[in-house]
Amino acid sequence: AVKSGWISSRGKFIEEFEKDFSNYIGVKYGVATANGTVALHLALTALGIGKGDEVIVPDLTFAATINSVIYTGSRPVVVDVDPEYWCISPEEIKKSITKKTKAIIVVHLYGHPCDMGPIMEIADQYGLYVVEDAAEAHGAEYKNKKIGSFGHVACFSFYGNKIITTGEGGMCVTNDKELADKMRILRDHGMAPERRYWHLVVGFNYRMTNLQAAIGVAQLQKIERFIKKKREIAKLYAEALSSVDGITLHPEMPWAKCVYWLYSILVDKKIKKKDEIVKELLKRGIEARNFFYPLHKMPIYRKYCRGSYEISSRISESGLNLPSSVKLSERDINYIAEQLKYIIKSK
């Protein structure tokens, strides 16, 4: 890409990455974007979602999910998650549907798929769009089919900490040609594809660069190796921590293939305060991170929330993300697990 001189938002690697990644997911069309957040906004806008509409989102997610809804002028409706696998609850989705509901955003949290069968049935029953926020779950599967291939459109992130990366970057994937064409026009300032500088709609500059796409093409060639290593890391953690009282291991439902973007556990606060664990691990050279705060806990999002959100609150309060880099060795994992066990058992 550098040698070609095409380093900005035109060049052969953009189309190559779009084609390769959409083929990997198992859908027909890919639309590369500047990042995962704008991919969500682009998808919602192309679906015609705007003022007066409602979009259902999970309480336990990164803020980009709800922000993308707010950008469109529509109203997010925040619902609780499933206690077993931490993703949006199909039952809570159904209870929250109104005459204004137009779409559902499902988030495949920390690499684990949502229960897409019931969700798609609900969407079909009520005539709703489904947008998959797959930023954390490249290559994850639901009943042997890759996530990102279920909803009307799926949005991925290629930020530096994701399973594959372009530094910054994202992509929308879909089987709907008309939707893909519309997203491309909106992504490129609303410009007519065959008439330069003629603008059909008020669009955005949400383009990926050729340099980023070239990195993406190379990264995609390694994705199965990365996923295999993520799952090996998860297995090592599970073996080392399974006998520890007060720890709930990262779930993997029978219908799911989790890619463990982060290896995540729950720690019973009666056993040990989570903040104390994080502090003690850091003293030993181990960086662990808390789960996302539930959306309903943050004042800026409270007006979109109804209910108590007991499950997302409990999961967030006890959730801990352990080091999960594919560069970790078995020795590293064993060291982390041993230090964690020592900290939990110590008074």
Q: Can you name the residues that pair with 29 across neighbouring β-strands?
A: 174
* pLDDT tens readout for residues 237-261: 999 999 999 999 999 999 999 999 9
93 Cβ contact partners less than 8 Å away, ≥ 6 residues apart:
56, 79, 104, 119, 122
Using the predicted structure, report yes or no on whether residue 308 has a pLDDT greater than 70: yes
Q: Stretch 221-232: mean pLDDT, rounded?
A: 98
Write out 154-192 in H/E/C secondary structure. EEEECECCCCCCCECCEEEEECCHHHHHHHHHHHECCEE
Question: How far is Cα of residue 254 from the mean position of the Cα atoms in its chain?
Answer: 20
Q: Stretch 314-324: mean pLDDT, rounded?
A: 97
Q: What pTM value is reported for the model? A: 0.96
User: CB-hemisphere CA count at 13 Å for 125?
Assistant: 11
* pLDDT tens readout for residues 153-182: 999 999 999 999 999 999 999 999 999 999
pLDDT for residue 347: 65
